[in-house]
Amino acid sequence: MRWDRVSRAAMLFVIGVLLYLYISPVRGLIGDLHEEAARHAQVVALERTGVALRLQERALLRPSTVEARGVGLVRPGEREYVVSGLPHN
């Protein structure tokens, strides 16, 4: 029996097993990085939407807008609704 060949085969087997054990965590890390990038893009989009909604809220709370809406003025294409019974802020 040639022990040098057996030891080489054993070393190759051990290296193969180690490489196999490293593949799964690396795959998970890459998947996590892609997911983090997608979540970050979603957060940025939601922040932009929040800013736009805050600007819209400010515009709707201006005294001139509230007064115009109070006397029944609506834009063309809008439908007028009356909501009553809401608590005061």
pLDDT of residue 71: 67
Answer yes or no: is pLDDT of 89 > 70: no
Among the listed residues 21, 13, 72, 33, the one whose alpha carbon sits nearest the alpha carbon of residue 82: 72
- Better pLDDT: 83 or 5: 5
Over 25-77, what HEC string results?
Answer: HHHHHHHHHHHHHHHHHHHHHHHHHHHHHHHHHHHHHCHHHHHHHHCCCCCCC
pLDDT of residue 61: 78
Each residue's pLDDT tens digit, 29-42: 999 999 999 999 99
> What is the band of 66 on the pLDDT scale with cuts at 50, 70, 90?
low
pTM over 0.75? The answer is no
Phi, psi of 25 (to 5 degrees): -65, -35
Between CA 16 and CA 20 the distance in angstroms is: 6
